[in-house]
Every structure is written in structure tokens, then in C-alpha cells.
Amino acid sequence: MFLAVMETASSQRRKKDKTRDSPAKLQYQIQVNGVLYDVQNTDPRMPLAAFLHFMLHLHGTKTMCFESACGCCAVVLEYDDPVNQGKRIVKSVNSCLYPVGALLSLKNHQVITIEALGSVKKGLHPIQQRLADYNGSQCGFCSPGFVMQMFGLLKNNQTPNVQEVEDIFDGNICRCTGYRPILDAMKSFAKDSDASLQGSLIDIEDLMICPMTNQRCDQNSSTGPAEGSDILLYSNCRMKWYQPRTLEQLYDILQENPKEPAKFINGDTAKGVYKGIYFKVNIDVKGIPDLYKVTMGPHGLKVFSNVTLSSLIDYLKLYSDQSPSYNVIAQHLLKITNKSVQNIAGWAGNLMLKWYHKEFKSDVFVIFEAVGAKLAIGDKDGEKTYTPMEFLDVKMEGKVLLYVEIPKLKENEVMNSYKVMPQTQNSQPYVSAGFRMEFEISSGVKLVKSFSMVYTGISDNFIHANATEEFLKGKDITSNETLQGALATLDKEVIPDDNSPLLAKAEYRKSLAFGLFYKFFLSLLDESHVSPCNRSAICSLKRPVSTGKQIFSCRPRNYPLTKPMPKLSAYKQTCGEIEYVNDIDPLHNELFSVFCLSQVGNATIDTIDITRAEKWHGAVKVILAKDIPGFNTFMPPPFEVEEILSSGPVLYAGQPIALCVAVSQHYALEMVDVIKVTYKDEETPIVTLDDAIEKESFYPSPGTELLVGDPVGAISESPYQIEGEVRAGEQYHFHMETQICRCVPTEDGLDVQAASQWLDFAQQAIAGACGIPAKDVNITAKHLGGAYGAKVTRANLVACGAALAAHLLNRPVQCIMDLTTNMKAVGKRHGYIFKYKVGFNEDGMLNGVIIKYYCDNGSSPNDNEVSAYFVFSDNVYKCKNWQLIPVALKTNRAAHTWCRSPGSKPNIFVIETILEHVAKFLSLDPIIVKQRNLYAQGDITPLGFDLPYCSIKDLYSTQIEKVNVTDRLQAIEKFNADNRWKKKGLAVVPLKYCLDWTEGFYLCTVSIFASDGSVMVTHGGVEIGQGINTKVAQVCAYVLGIPVDLIAIKPTTTISSPNSGTTGRSITSELNCLGVKNCCEILRERMSPVKAILPPDTPWKDLVAACFKAKMNMTAQYWVSPDPNSKGEPQYFSYGVTVAEAELDVLTGENQINQVDMLFDCGESLNPAIDIGQIEGAFVMGMGYWLMEKVIYDPKTGEVLNAGTWDYKPPFSKSIPINFNIELLKNAPNAMGVLRSKASGEPPQCMSCVTLFAVKRAIEAARQDIGNDSYFPLSGPATVDEIQTNCLVDYKNFSI
């Protein structure tokens, strides 16, 4: 991960250029934020992000994926245009892959990081200010990346439009916010933004001045090697790094190294796809001016190989008047990776990836081959041209891909291309296709003269549909016989690979081959020739710029309570100044540790050979299970043992078996690669839930079955019965800060900086593993970069790893999981199979419900949830007879754990599925069937809970009327009747969410400083982005009657808040607010006698001084640990209703959520801005679960195969609802809540399945067109391929 000599930060030999007149004193210089640094002794392959972090101590730039796909590492790079003298190139880049050495070939370059823009002390940049003001930062880990991406856009275009703003964030991930507030903040800089968003347009001068140096950022500085330097910049036994300046020098280098494969460096983004491949010969070709040439000739556009994808796109748009194909190609290229990668990756590098790896799905290859491009390959002896197909067989040793010539279309040629992918942004394709046809008119008939059909994603070797191309020659393009004949021919020659679980099903990819050809075929015809209902096949879905409304009420007389104010830490977050664990500067002797994982899933370790690892450069120690001085478990009693390091038994592929400790993260990762492990007693792992059910692999105590009434009898006596099955998959939490912990031995024991949601539990685990008392383990948690439940119990694994290494070696140690390790070693959201049987009447009223919950716990039942959440199984629906049967499955997967809305989200999904099934069986509208079954005030739930404040009937009818559901359903019905290949659907999901306080326990302390009246607060919760510190401060200020800025919320520690419970389940914020409220009331009561004898207008500071003078204790503590009420009922229920409308491309499965309208009962919100942010973020995360995020396991070993951003896709900014409207119920104070409020972090996510049901309505409309109106289950995640497969598309139904 981190290449370089990184024993200590001081090992970097860097110098600041204080005399800019004599830069040649430093040989190899790079410039960061206006300061020059010598990198002569730095490994040129070192990622820029690592250099910024470890060498320059610039921690605002974050890292997570190391695949250029999350955007949190974005910086802005500017340099002299190598072709156009006097022009500067400015672009955002992802620093996680960009090598430091690659900067040296960019003349007068400048790297700009978040630190250069602004700071809380010196003043914020307008982008930083607005992102915070618009509540676009929650955990804050991704915020610097969004700021830098926007900064790069504004540097190039001072007045962008809203579409350009939305387009620029295709490579930035945010798991917290749901994107809407981020997009609103950034669109406020657009010239055409909505009046409600419009901020002042930014002054160009604000973009040119560096706050760190107060000088223009675009001034020229001499960077790179000094003039006359040798082209071999770096050389050692492992690597050579060249920087040629001419093609001749490049050819010489290749001749000098005939036996070594050479890697050409432009952006070096390929290592984000194919990892662990190292080249001894590295050649940075960016310093060769001849390879930047672009010329427009009579036959086409000639583009040389140093031209990046983004520049190629610009050139194609510039010359789009020369050929209509140029705009087609540009639009396709825009779908490759993301803007930051396009800015540095070249088209040539993409083709070389295809040359090296024939299985690589190269969109560049597809469109170049389809359009008839020619590639020029050069060497010392000259150059030759090849088609892209021919290029794949060229022996490239000693050769250079020089340029591509993209021809113009002939007057009678037509070309188009298509890419269908799991997400609309930043995704590799399921299938891409390019088509080009040349036609001729004979006797008034349009005949095919030639036809080119190029595919990727079908199989490694299938590129051209040769037989179909041949069939089409001379055929009448307006004939249905031609269409069907071509499809029948294509059917015979399209044989998709089906040899990898990472591939979508073969039947889907084959159907795409037909569907994309059909789209192109219809586009060739005049509109008059195409049936009106078939015209919808031609175009892909069009996504307009997203919008949204947020409706809430507040009470100004109670401010700061109910005030919609930004988070207290928001401005530091948008400046990159918040310190996460990985931002703490390493001490001089600090070490780094990495887990070595098992590669099999059900075996016993036979031998572990660590000899090479312990001798590796930078290695310190390999820790094994036998080295653990205490208990080998990160789950202390009463939980079952989960070993920190396997003592022999291997329960799942990805289980830690050793801990490698080294002087750098990079060396520790290299140590992992050379550990040799052998296994014995290997058995076939139980990987799927079906396998576990078939083999009866169950945990013995899954929980208590719930039986109410006589469901068996009620179902048998019902006039109608149904049985069914539906599934809900796993979900990776995708916290931007991966699992991490830092431990420092001190005279007081171990000081631990933990990214944990449960410090007390981590303290117990560390103490047990190290064999020391809990009093010697001091844990602090300042801020977490996201968590969502993953850091409740699972964070103990890295905590114990860091603590063991620190304890055994008596040195500071960090234990960091990279994304791949995190996704393989740590469990996800529990997966489910639900089997149900239901009895009901002719009006859809439920009589009896039986549900069996098969819940995958993985390799341990410690975080079992299957029966703990039966309180949600009824959702809002009344039925007198219930049987809920829990079954905890044991599989050879990492032990699954809590994930935002654990248990509640899948439980509500299955009852919603049941109501949908009932409605379909009776041919009734599910919206009406649901309405008939709603609870009324005073009803009793299956667990015997009274519903005295149940408002769901009113909310349901109000929301349906308010968002005009009836008229929209009529419009959808007409749309579906008029369009055969595009469909829409609308669904409604209501919510009843139970909040129980009895498992929360926290110590809160409020201290008033006598010197100035300022207030310090500590509490037992952890700030993970949910805004707990801000709400606590608001409550404190409200009760004491003082301004919020007098209050400081200190980090949570086991010293200030010992024995506190976990941060989660949506109750932590309100219970700590309750605790702080009670502390403040104690203080206020204590101070009242003194206040009574002072003048009425006595300032707060003077009141505090008087109280202290009276020898008053100015600190109050309160232990929050609510007891259950006499009936054992929950504290309160939240209610909500969400309506969603979806649109679907039947041929491809691509879909979008056109509108979401949510009405949610949040009580009297303590902070509407924070609560709406929580609601939106929860909902979009839920959308990811139901429609996008699929965990793929190796069926033979159980290893997670899509452990990274390349194959695992959370929602991006264009995944969110196009029209996203949230309304908080007005005038609904919660008498049972804290200061009349209700929780917001988890309940709304339970309504996110409405998006799946809306898509299902659209699928049903497609099936109805072929006469199939039977019920079918749609399980989650309903990914693009699953959706299209359920549409039952048959090419034999295609017609003109």
C-alpha cells in the first residue's frame, strides 16, 4: 500500500525552498501547496497520498479504497500544458494511486491539498463554508474529497451549471448523508441553480491565492529534475524509474531492457484494478511532448497516446461537427471510471490493460473497434498500423502504442454504443457494445452494406458477432424478418462465459446482447417505421438534475433547541482538520500491524512458515496465537469465543491467523504475502444459506419463538391462503474509515485510540487478551469516520491486534485494515431467507401469519439478531394470530454483525412482501390492502404492547393525498400502456418503529469552569457522524440558558465515561441528551439559591463566579440507565409513510428512482437539519441494500470475492432519488421522548424497501405485456441483472 522508506517521518529528506530564485539546488523537486520538497531519496512509486500523510504530515487528504474509486483522497494538480505554451492544466486527481515520481515529468507543477484552501482559524474557503452550512458533512471523512473535487471544477470553470456540478462527483462516495445536502451545497455555486440554493458566485481570485503562502497558486516554480539530468532518475536492485523526453530515448530504454517487461506511467491507475503486479522497469512517458499531439485530418482525428481520457473527451466534443460518431464516443468515454481517473488515465493505458489481460472489459477497445479506428505501433524501425482486434496479437516487447486514428463516419454510416453497468457511475460494464452500419438505398429500400457488432462482457474471446454481421449484409433494415433473423443468428453465436461468480448470470448477459442490438436496430429506422410502443426501446433512461424539498418546523423561542444548525465539528470536517485515528502523527518508534488471513473456509492449520516474513525488510515480528499472553478472544465473556488469531481451527476464509508487525504499513503488507500456510482436515465449507438449511447447520439457541393466538387454525379456516419465500442479502457497512486502532504503552498502561462504538467492551477485550486489568487500559474515541454498527463488537479485533503488538513489543502500534482485508475478515449485515404462510379474507384482511426466519449468523452466533427484533415483524399491520419462528444458521462466513437498522429492516421487508403477495393474489391494489390492515389507536401488538398514540392511519391517508398518489397511478398506467420497453411503478411503505431505552446506559458529566463560565461536557456516546455532540450541546445550552459556543464536548473516554454502553440503535443521542439535561438541571437547581440573591440580569459568568465563591461544586454527573416500565413496553413508537416512484428500462434492467416522498414522525426535532440528514442518509443506504449492494462469495472456499470498490457498489450521487422530498410531521411532540423529540438515525431506513417495491411494480407491468400477471418474489438486493431477468425478456417478442 505505502511504498517508501517510512520508518519515521523524519526519514524524509525534505527541504523547503526559501529562495525561489535558485531552485536548481534541489535535484528532484515536487511542489505541494506552494512549497518545494526534494524527493531524490523517495521511492518514486510511493502514492502521493502516502507522501502527503507520512512525509508532509498533511492529514486532510484521506485514504480508504486505494482503487481511485471513493474520492476521499482527491487533490488538485496543476502544471504547464506540455503542448500549448503559457497555458496551465488544472485537474482533480486521486492521490491514492498517483505515484510521487510521476509528478517530476510535469513542468512547474503544483499539488493543492485541502490544507491550502482554508482553515477554521485562518478562514474558510467558500466551498468549505458552504458544505458545512448546508449540512453536507456528517462523519466528515469524505468531506475533503468533495471539497477538492469542487475546487478543481471551479478552477477550470468559474460559473458551471448544475448539470456540470452533479457530473463531477461520479467518483466520490459518501455513506452518511445520502448526497442531497452535498449536491445542494455545491450547486449553490452554479449559475443556474435554484433560487433557494443560490449563493454568491465565487471570485476567480479566491481560486488563485494559496492561503498557506498568500501567493498565486499558478505561479511558475522549477519542479522536477534539473535541466540536463539523466533520464534514469532512480535505480536500485528492485526497480528502475526512467523519465525520457523524446521518443528516441524511450526506444533506447526499451532496447536496454529487452528481457524486462516495461510499465509505461501516465496516471498509473491500472494498479487499482490489477493489484500486486510489480514492474522492474518503470517509464514515465509524460515528459515526451510528441505523444500529446492531436490533429484533425481529412480522414479522422489522430490522437497520440499521452492524451488522457478527459482530454480525449474534450477533443471529441470539439470536433463533433466533423462526425456524429465523435459525440457518441465522447458520451461512452464519460461512463468509464470517474472524472478523477479520466483526468490522469490515458486511452492507451486502457488498451494496454486489454492487451495484458484479455478478460478486461475495455470500453475503449469496444468503441475503437466498432468505429473502425486504427492504432499505430512504433519501435526503432518505424511504425505500423493495426485494428484494435489485430493489436491484441501484436508482440509489444520493445514497441510503443503511438496514436489512434478515429475515422469520420461516411455519409451513409451510422454508429452508436451502449454500456450497461451495475451503477450509472464509476462501474465496469456487465456488457458494452458498439455498432456501426453502412447502408445503401436500392429501389427505395434501405439495405445493409456492412455491419460491425462489437461486444465486451460476453466472454474473453467473443468480440465480433461475425455470423450476425455476415447475415445482415444486403438485408432490408426495415423488415421484421431481418430483425428476427439477425437475433436468431446472434442467439447461436453468443455463448457467455459462466466461469466466475463475479460475472452476472450468462442468461442476462446474453439477453443484453440481444437488447442492445435491438436498440441500435430500431434507431436506424425513421420514426414512422417504428411502432409507437416500441420507440421506448431506442433511448436509455435520462436522468435530470436532482432536486428535493425538506419541510420541517422549529420553535425559535426555544433556540438553540429545535434550531436547524450545522454540526459543531462541520467546519473542521470540511477543512480536513478533524483528527481521526489514522491522522495522529506516528511517534518515532511507532509500528504498523496487518492481519494475515486464511484462504480456506473449513479446515485446521497444519503449519505456518513465518521465516521469510520475519526476515523481510522492515519486519519486526509475526505474532501467532501462541504468543497471546491472555485470552485468545476479542469477544469477552459472556460471549462465545471468537479467536483473535486462529489457534488451529479455521472457520471461514478471511479469518486472521497471524499479525505482521513492521516499521511501515507497506512492509507489513509485504510480510503477509510471504507467509506460507498449509492446512489439514479440509472439508467443504457451508457457504450459502441454502447449504446450511439443507445440512441443518443451526445454532442451538436462536431465541424464543413467538406464538400469539392460533395461526395454524386461522390460516386453515381462511378463505384464501398463500405460501411464499423471499430473501434479503448481506450488506457491507462501507464506513469510509476502515477498522483501525492505535495503542501506545505508557507508564499508566495502554493508551488506546480506538475507532469503536463501544469503548467499555473494547476495554474488556484488550484487558483479557493482554492479561492485564481493565484499569490499565485507557481508551479514547474522538471521531469515527462512519460505523453503522460495524464498530460495535467487530472493532475489538483490530483493537486487540494493536494492543497485543504494543504490549508484547512495548512500542506504539497501529493496526489498520485496508478495504480488502476489512471486507474479508469482518462480517456484514445478516442475510435472511424468509418462508411464510398466510391466511386472509377476500378484502385482504389478515387472519393468520406464520413466518420462519432463517438468519445467517456466519461463524459465530455472538451478534445473533434473529429473534431480538420480532417487535418489528408486524410493522403497522393488525392480525390476531402470529407464529414467528427463529432459526440461526451456521455458515463458514465471517460472523455477521449489527448493521444500521439491524433486524428491523429485514423484518419489515418480509411483512411488506406478504401484503404485496396478498394483494397480487386477490388482484387488488397493494396500497389499498395495506391501508385496510393498518393499526388503529389503542390496538395491541403481537408482543402485547398497547398503541395509545398510534397515528399511522391518518399519516397514511394524508401522505397519499398530499403527494397525489391517485393521479400519479393513473399517469403511470397510461405511460406503461404507451411504452413497451420502459415501465414505471409506484409503491407505498408505512412504518411503525419501536424505540426501547432499557439497554442504554451512559455516564454524563457537565462541568462549569469558574474562571469564565465556559462549560465542558463528557458523555458515554461516540460521535460517529450522527450529530450527538451537537444535540448534546444544544440541550445543555437550552437548559442552562447560555450560548452554544460556551460549551465544549470532549472526546469520549473510558476514564470520563466508564462502563458506558454501545453507540447505536438510534437511542444513544437521546439518552445522552437526557443525561446531560439532568446534569444541567442538577446544576441549575444547585445554583438557584445564589441566583436568587443576585440582580435579575446578572451575566452568566458572574453568576458562576458567585456560585464558586460560595464553595459550590460546579460539576454534576448523571448515570443514564432507564428501567423498563411496569408493562415492559418500549419507550415510544415512531411512525412514517414513504411513497416511491421508479422507472425501468425493460431491455437492460437499468432503473432509477424518479421520486421519493417521505412523511416521518420525528416528534419535536432537537435539530431538524441533523435529523433530516440522518433520514436521507439512512434511506439512501437502504436503497443500496435493496437495489445495488451484493456480496459475492467463492462457492468453493467462502472467500468474499468482491472485496473492493471495483465489484462492490454502494450508492453514488446519481443513485439517489431524482426528486427527494422529506417532511417531518408537524405539531407532533413526543411526550415520552427527550424534550419532546424522537430518534431519526435508523427508523427511516426501514421504509427504503419502498424503492424495491416501486421497481417491482414496473417489472409487473413488463410481465403483463407478455400475458404473465402471476405473483413473483423480488428479493434484495434486486440488482440491475436480477431486475431485467425478472422482466422475462424474450428476443422473439422484439419487433419493429
Report, in this order, helix, strand and coil percent for the chain, each rounded to 5. 30, 20, 45
Q: Is the pLDDT of residue 160 over 50?
A: yes
Residues 1214, 1220, 1221: CA angle, nearest 5 degrees:
170
Kindly state the average pLDDT of the residues 1274-1279. 98
CA 328 vs. chain centroid, Å, equals 29
For 588-599, the pLDDT digits (tens) are: 999 999 999 999
300-304 and 400-407 strand pairing: antiparallel
On the CB side of 934, how many CA atoms lie within 13 Å of its CA? 24
**Average pLDDT over every residue of 1049-1072:** 95
Q: With a cut of 80, say whether residue 6 has pLDDT above it.
A: no
Please report which confidence band the pLDDT of residue 224 belongs to, taking 50, 70 and 90 as the band edges.
low
Per residue in 891-920, pLDDT (tens digit) is: 999 999 999 999 999 999 999 999 999 999
**Tens digits of per-residue pLDDT, 647-669?**
999 999 999 999 999 999 999 99
The candidate with the shortest Cα–Cα distance to 525, out of 439, 459, 460, is: 439
Cβ-count burial 956-972 (b if 16+ within 10 Å, e if not): beebbeebebeeebeeb
Average pLDDT of span 470-496? 97
What's residue 215's pLDDT? 59
Helix H segments across 965-1099?
A: 965-978, 1028-1040, 1068-1093
Quick one: what percent of the chain has pLDDT higher than 90?
92
- The distance of Cα 32 from the centroid of its chain, to the nearest Å, equals 29
Question: What global pTM score does this model have?
Answer: 0.96
What count of Cα atoms within 13 Å lies in the side-chain half-sphere of residue 908?
30
E-assigned strand segments in 729-842: 740-746, 749-754, 777-781, 813-816, 831-840
Q: Return d(Cα 1121, Cα 1118) in angstroms, integer.
A: 9
Residue 1145 pairs in a beta bridge with 982
| Mean residue pLDDT across the chain | 94
DSSP H or E stretch at residue 109: none
Sheet containing 813-816, strands listed edge to edge, beginning at the edge strand earlier in sequence? 619-623, 656-662, 591-597, 813-816, 740-746, 749-754, 777-781, 1052-1053
Separation between Cα atoms, residue 1260 and residue 1251, nearest integer Å: 14
Kind and range of the H or E element at 49?
Answer: helix 48-50
CA distance readout (Å), 1180 to 1150, 1176, 1218: 18, 6, 12
Query: Residue 982: which of 1227, 1183, 1147 has the closest Cα?
Result: 1147
Residue 520: the pLDDT is 98
State the Cα–Cα distance between residues 1139 and 1180, nearest whole angstrom: 14
3-state secondary structure 933-953: CECCCCCECCCCCECCCCCHH
Residues 1216, 1056: Cα–Cα separation, whole Å: 40
Which of helix, strand or coil describes residue 851? strand
Alpha-carbon dihedral angle through residues 440, 443, 444, 447, given to the nearest 10 degrees: -30
Sequential DSSP letters for 899-910: -SSTTHHHHHHH
pLDDT at 1126 over 80: no
- Give the per-residue pLDDT at 882: 98
Cell numbers for 430:
456487465
pLDDT value of residue 1066: 86
How many CA atoms lie within 13 Å of 1201's alpha carbon, on the beta-carbon side? 13
- What is the reported pLDDT for 905? 97
Q: Residue 717: its pLDDT value, please? A: 97
CA nearest neighbour of 1295 among 521, 702, 732: 521
Alpha-carbon distance 862 to 758, whole Å? Answer: 15
Tell me the torsion sign for CA atoms 614, 619, 625, 631: positive
Cβ contacts of 282 within 8 Å, gap of 6 or more: 44, 45, 101, 239, 240, 241, 242, 262, 263, 265
3-state per-residue secondary structure call for 695-744: CCCECCCCCCCEEECCHHHHHHHCCEEEEEEEEECCCCCCCCCCCEEEEE
- 3-class state of residue 110 by DSSP: strand
pLDDT for 125 beyond 70: yes
Average pLDDT over every residue of 488-510: 96
> What average pLDDT does range 497-526 have in this prediction?
96
Measured distance CA(1075)–CA(37) in Å, rounded? 51
CB–CB of 99/45 below 8 Å?
A: yes
Given this model, what pLDDT does residue 408 score?
A: 97
pLDDT at res. 19: 32
198: enclosing H helix or E strand? none
pLDDT at 249 over 70: yes
| Higher pLDDT, residue 720 or 17 | 720
**Residue 1185 near residue 1248, CB atoms below 8 Å:** yes
Instruction: Report how far residue 899's alpha carbon sits from residue 901's, in angstroms, rounded to the nearest whole number.
Output: 6
Check whether 1223 has a pLDDT greater than 90: yes
Specify the pairing of strand 281-284 against strand 240-242: parallel
Separation of alpha carbons 316 and 891, rounded Å: 52
Nearest Cα residue to 451 out of 422, 421, 424, 483: 483
Amino acid at 126: P
How far apart are the C-alpha atoms of 1196 and 300, rounded to whole Å?
50
Q: What is the pLDDT of residues 962-1008, one digit of tens each?
A: 999 999 999 999 999 999 999 999 999 999 999 999 889 999 999 99
Contacts of 1121 (CB under 8 A, 6+ apart): 1000, 1001, 1002
Confidence of residue 23 (pLDDT cuts 50, 70, 90): very low
> Do 436 and 430 touch, CB atoms closer than 8 A?
no
Q: Please answer whether residues 786 and 732 qualify as being in contact, where contact means their C-beta atoms are separated by less than 8 angstroms.
A: no
CA distance 243 to 227: 12
Neighbours of 1236 (CB within 10 A): 18
pLDDT tier, 194 (very low <50, low <70, confident <90, very high otherwise): confident
Nearest of 260, 236, 233 to residue 249 by alpha carbon: 233
Q: What is the pLDDT of residue 24?
A: 40
Residue-wise pLDDT tens digits, 195-220: 777 665 555 455 555 555 555 555 55
DSSP for 597-658, please give it. E-S-SSEEEEEEE-HHHHHSTTEEEEE-GGG-SS-S-SS-TTSPP--SS-SSEE-STT-EEE
Q: Please state, in angstroms and rounded to a whole number, the distance separating the CA atoms of residues 776 and 607.
A: 35
Closest by alpha carbon to 519, among 374, 626, 418?
Answer: 418
